[in-house]
Structure 1
Amino acid sequence: MSEQQPAPDADGAAHVVAPSACHGATPVGEPSDLTEPVRRFVCSVRTMAFVSLASFVLVLWVFTRTARAQVWDERGRMSTGASARAWVHIVDPLTYITIGSVATLLAAFVVIALARQRAGLALAAILVVGGANVTTQLFKAYWPTSPHLWDNSLPSGHSTVAMSLSLAAILVAPSGARRWLVPFAAFGATFVGAGTIVGHWHRPADVWAAFLVCLLWSAGAIGLVLKLQLRRHTRDAKYALRPAAGVVGSMTAGLIFVGLGVRPLDADLKLAEAIVALGVTGLLAAFVVAWVSAAADDNLG
C-alpha cells in the first residue's frame, strides 16, 4: 500500500490522510468488517465517555441506593468458595499489587511510549492509571450507602489497578500490536477482578464499577491526546474479532479458576449467583478492553 501524502486542512496545517473508520472509506481491496455507522459508534470518544459515565452512575445508584441490590451484591460476593490450592494461586498473588509495583509498570509504559516518540500516549497512560485510581479511592472513602446495610466498597481498588494498567499497556502499544494484546489484557483484568470476588474481598458491583471508571478515563485520555497530537497515524481498522479475543482471555481466566478449585458454596441458587457474578465480570472486562483497543487504533494510530 502506498504511503499517504499530507493534505492541508482549513488552517493550512498538514495532516496525514489515512483510511479510517471515522474519517474515510475503507481502502479498495481491504474488506470492511463493520458497517460505517457501527464504526463511527466504535471509534467515537464521546460515545465511550457517555456510555461509561451513564453505566457507572447506574451501577453506583442501584448498588448503593437500593436494599435489594445491596443484598444481592453481598450474596454474589459470598456465592463461591475456593480450595486451598485456589487460594494460593488466585487470592495470594493479589497481595503483590502495591503502589510500588503499579508505579514500576506505569514507568515502563511511559518509557515505551517515549521510545516510540509518542509523548501523547505516555500522557494517556498516566491519565488512565492515575485518574482511575484516584477516582476509585475517593468514591470508596466518601460515597455512602443508603440504606446503610454495610459500608461502601465500590469501586474495587485492585480491579481498578488491573484494568487501568491493562488499558495503559494497550494505549502505548503500536497499532498493529494492540489487537494481539486484547486477550492478555482481558485475562489480567478478569483474573484480578474475579479474584477479589472469589477471595470475598469485594462484591461484584465493586468490580464492575472499577472497570467502568477505567473506561471513562480512557475515553478522556484518548480524546485529550487526539486534540494534542499534530498528525494522524496509520490505523488498523480490523475491529470485529477484538470482542471475541477479549472473551477468550476472560474465559481462560474462568477455566483456570475452575481448574484450581473455585466452586459455588452450595445449592443451585449459589451456582446461578456465581455464574452471574463472575460471568458478567469477565464479559465486561472483555468489552472494555476491546473497545479501548479499537478506539485507540482509530483515533490515535
Structure 2
Amino acid sequence: MTDEQKPSNPAIRDPHAPSNLVRDFEPLDIPVPPVPTRPSSLSDVADVEHTDTMDLTAAMAAATTPSSVRPAGYPSSRGGSRAARRSRAARAAAAGVSSLTDEDPLADRPRISSRVLCVVFGLLLIAAAFGVWWLGVHTEAGQSFDDMAEVSFPGAVPGWLGGLLALGTHLVVVIGSALLAVAAAAVVAVRRRWWLAGQLVAFGVLCFASTLLKPLLPRPFIIHTEIVDGSSAPSGHVTLAVACSIALLLAVSRGWRWVAALVGMAWSAFVGLSVIYGQWHRPSDAAMATLLVGGIALIVLAFTRTSGMDATGSRRSSAGVQIVSSVSLTASVMAVLYGAYVVWQIVPGLTMSAKWAQTSSVAASSILVVAAVVLVFGLTLMMRQITAAPLTRLGLVGAPPAPPKRRRTPSDHAS
C-alpha cells in the first residue's frame, strides 16, 4: 500500500486556537454543470433582442453556475472586448431564433383566425356600403334626406367650419392625398417591405376599380329633388383620400400606426365633409366610398405574408393602437346609432321638405359620414396590428411581468 492509499488520520484542531480561514479552507467536491451549447427551451431565447452585450450561451451558463465553483476558463459575461461579445451574441441569437422560426408558421403568415376576421369584416363593410347606397338611392326618404342635407349644408354649418371646408378644393384634395401616398411608398421602400408593396399596389388598383362602379349604379327617379345630377356614388374624391390615408397606415411601423390612423381620420373626414359642403356629392356618396375602401383594405390584409409583417423578435403590443382602435370603434358605433335615431326622427319632415328638418339633416349627415370614417380606420388599425404582429413561439420580447419582490425587514431577519 502506497502512502497515497493509506488512510490519513483526521487533524484535530485546538478549539482555543485562532482560526485561519485561508489555511483551514477545504473546497467542496461539487460537480460543475455542463455548458449548454444552444438554448434548451423557447423561453431561453424570448429576449434575444436584448442580448447584444454578451454571448447568449455564455450568459445562460454563467447564470446557472455559482461563481464560487466556476473552473478556470469558464465562460464569463465579462470576458472579451465589447465588439467580440456582440459578435458572439449575434451568432448565438441568430442560430437560436432561426431554428425556431423555421418551424413556426406564424413567423411568415398571420393566424388563420385573423385572416378570416379580415375577410368577414371586409365583406361586412362592403355590404354596409351598398346598403347605404340602396337607402340613399332607392327609397323616397333616402333621396329626400340626401337632397335636403346637400342643399342646406353650406348655410347650416358654423362660419368657422364652413371656411375650413371651403379650403377642400379639387386641387387641395388631390395634392394632400398624393402626399400621403408618396409618404407610404417611401416608408415601404425604406423598410424594404416588398410583399407589403405588392399589397398596396393591389389595394390601389381595387380602389380605382371601385370608382368605375358609378355608371353601373343608376339613380332612379322617385321624387323631385333640387339636386338633379344623376348617379354620383361612390365619391371619387373620398375614395382617393381614404385609400391614400389607409395606405400610409399599412406602411408605417408599429409605433407610428396609431398616429397614422389619427392623421388618416382627420384628412378623410375633412374631405368627406368638404365634398358635401361644395355640393359635389351627396352624404350617401361619401359614406359609401369610405365603407367600400375600408372593406377592400381589410380583404387585402387577409393576404399579409412574410415581409408584409413585423420582423420576428420585434413584435409587441402597442398601447397607442389599443387605445385608438378601441375608442374609435366604440365612438363610431355610438355615433351611427345616434345619427340613425336623428334621421328616424326627421323622416316626417323629409317627405314634406319641412324647413325644421334642415338643420337636423345636416347634423345627422355630418355625424354619419364622420362615424363611417372613424369606424373604417378603427377596424383597419386593429386588424393591421393583429395581422402584422402575431406572437410566434418566441412569445413577447422580454420577461413576462412579475410581482415586485418584498423587501426583508429587520423583523424577518430576527425570525
Task: Specify which structure has the higher proportion of helix.
Answer: 1
Q: 2:35 corresponds to which residue? A: none
| 8 Å CA contact 2:203, 2:296 repeated in 1 | yes
Alignment of 1:252-291 (within 5 A): 268-291=356-379
Please report the TM-score for the alignment, with normalisation by the length of structure 2: 0.55
Q: 1:62 corresponds to which residue? A: 135
Q: What is the aligned counterpart of 1:142 among 216, 220, 226?
A: 216
Q: 1:297 corresponds to which residue? A: 385
Kindly state the Cα deviation for residue 70 of structure 1 after the two structures are TM-superposed.
Answer: 1.5
Kindly state the Cα deviation for residue 2 of structure 1 after the two structures are TM-superposed.
Answer: 1.7
| 8 Å CA contact 1:63, 1:69 repeated in 2 | yes
Kindly state the Cα deviation for residue 218 of structure 1 after the two structures are TM-superposed.
Answer: 0.3
Query: Residues 23-58 of structure 1, C-alpha deviation per residue, up to 9 Å, x if partnerless?
Result: 8xxxxxxxxxxxxxxxx7898212221211221221
* Secondary structure of residue in 1 paired with 2:302: helix
Alignment of 1:244-255 (within 5 A): 244=327
RMSD of aligned residue pairs (Cα, Å): 3.4
- 1:2 to 2:47 alignment: yes
Query: Which residue identity lines up with residue 236 of structure 1 in the other structure?
Result: S
* Secondary structure of residue in 2 paired with 1:202: coil
**1:187/1:226 Cα in 2 relative to 1: closer, same or farther (>3 Å)?**
same
Please report the TM-score for the alignment, with normalisation by the length of structure 1: 0.74
Q: Counterparts of 2:183 and 2:310 in 1: how far apart (Å)?
A: 25
5+ residue gaps, structure 2, are 1-45, 50-96, 336-353, 390-415
* Secondary structure of residue in 2 paired with 1:241: helix
| 8 Å CA contact 2:168, 2:271 repeated in 1 | no
Q: Counterparts of 1:14 and 1:6 in 2: how far apart (Å)?
A: 10
Query: Which residue identity lines up with residue 199 of structure 2 in the other structure?
Result: A
Q: How many residues are matched? A: 264
Alignment of 1:198-217 (within 5 A): 198-217=277-296
Which structure has the higher relative contact order (CA within 8 Å, separation 6+)?
Answer: 1
**1:3/1:273 Cα in 2 relative to 1: closer, same or farther (>3 Å)?**
farther
* Secondary structure of residue in 1 paired with 2:213: helix
Query: Residues 147-197 of structure 1, C-alpha deviation per residue, up to 9 Å, x if partnerless?
Result: 466511111111111111110110001012101222221111000101111
Q: What is the aligned counterpart of 1:222 among 293, 301, 324?
A: 301
- 1:236 to 2:317 alignment: yes
Q: 1:35 corresponds to which residue? A: none
- 1:169 to 2:248 alignment: yes
| 8 Å CA contact 1:154, 1:210 repeated in 2 | yes
| 8 Å CA contact 1:6, 1:14 repeated in 2 | no
Q: 1:93 corresponds to which residue? A: 168
Q: Counterparts of 1:280 and 1:169 in 2: how far apart (Å)?
A: 24
- 1:45 to 2:118 alignment: yes
Q: Counterparts of 1:92 and 1:133 in 2: how far apart (Å)?
A: 24
* Secondary structure of residue in 2 paired with 1:201: coil
Q: Counterparts of 2:148 and 2:114 in 1: how far apart (Å)?
A: 36
5+ residue gaps, structure 1, are 24-39, 252-265
Query: Which residue identity lines up with residue 363 of structure 2 in the other structure?
Result: I
Q: 1:108 corresponds to which residue? A: 183
- 1:183 to 2:271 alignment: no
Query: Which residue identity lines up with residue 276 of structure 2 in the other structure?
Result: I
Q: Counterparts of 2:123 and 2:135 in 1: how far apart (Å)?
A: 18
Q: 1:159 corresponds to which residue? A: 238
Q: Counterparts of 2:177 and 2:207 in 1: how far apart (Å)?
A: 13
Kindly state the Cα deviation for residue 105 of structure 1 after the two structures are TM-superposed.
Answer: 4.2
**1:295/1:67 Cα in 2 relative to 1: closer, same or farther (>3 Å)?**
same
| 8 Å CA contact 1:159, 1:193 repeated in 2 | yes
* Secondary structure of residue in 2 paired with 1:225: coil
| 8 Å CA contact 1:237, 1:298 repeated in 2 | no
The percent identity for this pair of structures is: 17
Q: 2:16 corresponds to which residue? A: none
**1:267/1:209 Cα in 2 relative to 1: closer, same or farther (>3 Å)?**
same
Query: Which residue identity lines up with residue 256 of structure 2 in the other structure?
Result: A
